[in-house]
């Protein structure tokens, strides 16, 4: 007789604000027997603490967490094919770890959960890793995805803006690809940018809505004409990175735009003041 399949929940938990957890996410968390957490270093410590705070707040009984170290990843490769192969290799080793977690830490018929930062559909490897494990055909499981509030939605909300202008496209890109170019006539959302790639666009008539640690007590927001605020964002980034040991920031770039509609330019925005949501 074949054994009951294991069940996996991939739960988006929002990108920092515990109040961004959806009711569906809470209900899903309550169905889980065990929570899997992967990470490494200072960023992992901070994000693991946040996950545990979320679990403490929403689960009434005891719960089981299994932590594993993220495998090493070669971050020196930034160009095309070599970048893709470094990521592929890293994902494969991550899949080895997750396969072991599912096989060893979850009994047949039990439910395990991955608490995914933001939304699982956006720059997150969990779903690709589960596909990879399924192809190996070593451990039987099914899985379900619960969407979360992404850092991009949180950024737009904190700046009280939309991602798109009327009838226009939005292009979402990692910073690494922005450096290589971008489509004409699009607003740009930039993530995973460790290199302040927005500085390449100074002089092009862009407005930037920038946010770091959005939704957390350490949140920093800056909005204004890129030419006027780029240096300030650079300084804030460097200081914050030094203070925390890691940084997560996201920004929206909009060309040929004078700032939020219907409002005069918010106080402090032109000089990049970081106070308040429109900072
Ligand atoms: C690996 S991706 C994960 C994205 C996530 N799945 C989401 O839906 O937001 C990590 C990137 O998301 C962005 N990010 C995640 N959380 C953030 C936050 N609280 N504040 C600003 N940016 C954040 C940053 O661009 C960071 O480099």
pLDDT higher than threshold 60 for residue 151: yes
Query: Does residue 58 fall inside a structural domain?
Result: yes
- Determine if ligand 1 sits within 6 Å of the CB of residue 172: no
Contact 221, 204 (CB under 8 A): no
pLDDT exceeding 70 applies to what percent of the chain? Answer: 88
Query: Does residue 116 fall inside a structural domain?
Result: yes
By mean pLDDT, which of 5-9, 73-77, 198-202, 246-250 is the weakest? 73-77
pLDDT higher than threshold 50 for residue 256: yes
pLDDT higher than threshold 50 for residue 272: no
- Ligand 1 atom closest to residue 215's alpha carbon, by position in its atom list: 19
CATH number at residue 31: 3.40.1010.10
**Do 171 and 115 lie in a common domain?**
no
**Do 90 and 60 lie in a common domain?**
yes
Strands 64-69 and 34-39: parallel
- Determine if ligand 1 sits within 6 Å of the CB of residue 206: no
User: In a 3-state reduction of DSSP, which class is residue 187?
Assistant: strand
Q: What is the rounded average pLDDT of the residues 18-25?
A: 95
Region label for 36, one of left (φ > 0), alpha (ψ between -120 and 50) or beta (otherwise): beta
C-alpha span between 4 and 164 (Å, rounded): 46
Q: What is the rounded average pLDDT of the residues 103-109?
A: 95
Query: Does residue 246 fall inside a structural domain?
Result: yes
C-alpha span between 139 and 223 (Å, rounded): 48
Query: Does residue 272 fall inside a structural domain?
Result: no
Cα(206) to centroid of ligand 1, in Å? Answer: 22
C-alpha span between 41 and 51 (Å, rounded): 15
Contact 86, 73 (CB under 8 A): yes
pLDDT at site 98: 94
Cα(239) to centroid of ligand 1, in Å? Answer: 19
Cα(140) to centroid of ligand 1, in Å? Answer: 31
Q: What share of the chain is helix, strand, coil (3-state, %, to 5)?
A: 35, 25, 40
**Do 51 and 129 lie in a common domain?**
yes
pLDDT higher than threshold 60 for residue 3: yes
pLDDT at site 89: 83
**Do 119 and 168 lie in a common domain?**
no
Cα(211) to centroid of ligand 1, in Å? Answer: 10
Q: What is the rounded average pLDDT of the residues 99-111?
A: 95
C-alpha span between 157 and 153 (Å, rounded): 6
Cα(212) to centroid of ligand 1, in Å? Answer: 9
Q: Tell me whether residue 14 is exposed, middle or buried, using C-beta atoms within 10 angstroms of its C-beta: 0 to 12, 13 to 18, 19 or more.
A: buried
Full residue range of the structural domain in which residue 167 is found: 151-255
The four Cα atoms 60, 66, 69, 70 give a dihedral, to 10 degrees, of: -70
C-alpha span between 258 and 265 (Å, rounded): 8
Query: Does residue 264 fall inside a structural domain?
Result: no
pLDDT higher than threshold 70 for residue 262: no
pLDDT at site 58: 92
**Do 26 and 114 lie in a common domain?**
yes
- Determine if ligand 1 sits within 6 Å of the CB of residue 250: yes
- Determine if ligand 1 sits within 6 Å of the CB of residue 99: no
Contact 144, 203 (CB under 8 A): no
pLDDT at site 77: 65
Cα 239–242–245 angle (5° rounding)? 135
């Amino acid at each position: 007789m074949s054994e009951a399949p294991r069940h996996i929940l991939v739960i988006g938990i929002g990108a920092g604000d515990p109040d961004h957890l959806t009711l569906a996410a809470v209900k899903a968390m309550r169905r889980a027997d065990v929570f899997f957490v992967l990470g490494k270093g200072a960023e992992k410590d901070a994000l693991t603490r946040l996950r545990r705070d979320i679990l403490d707040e929403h689960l009434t009984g005891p719960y089981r967490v299994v932590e594993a170290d993220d495998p090493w990843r070669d971050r020196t490769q930034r160009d095309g094919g070599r970048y893709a192969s470094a990521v592929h290799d890293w994902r494969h080793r991550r899949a080895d770890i997750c396969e072991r977690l599912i096989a060893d830490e979850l009994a047949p018929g039990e439910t395990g959960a991955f608490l995914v930062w933001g939304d699982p559909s956006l720059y997150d490897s969990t779903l690709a890793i589960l596909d990879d494990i399924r192809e190996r055909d070593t451990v039987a499981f099914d899985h379900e995805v619960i969407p979360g509030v992404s850092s991009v939605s949180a950024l737009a909300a904190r700046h009280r803006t939309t991602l798109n202008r009327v009838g226009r496209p939005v292009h979402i890109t990692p910073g690494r690809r922005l450096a290589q170019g971008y489509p004409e006539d699009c607003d740009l959302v930039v993530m995973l940018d460790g290199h302040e790639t927005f500085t390449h666009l100074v002089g092009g008539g862009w407005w930037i809505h920038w946010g770091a640690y959005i939704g957390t007590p350490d949140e920093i927001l800056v909005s204004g004409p890129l030419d006027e605020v780029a240096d300030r964002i650079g300084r804030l980034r460097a200081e914050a990175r030094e203070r925390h040991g890691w940084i997560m920031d996201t920004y929206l770039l909009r060309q040929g735009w004078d700032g939020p509609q219907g409002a005069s330019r918010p106080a402090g925005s032109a000089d990049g003041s970081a106070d308040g949501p429109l900072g």
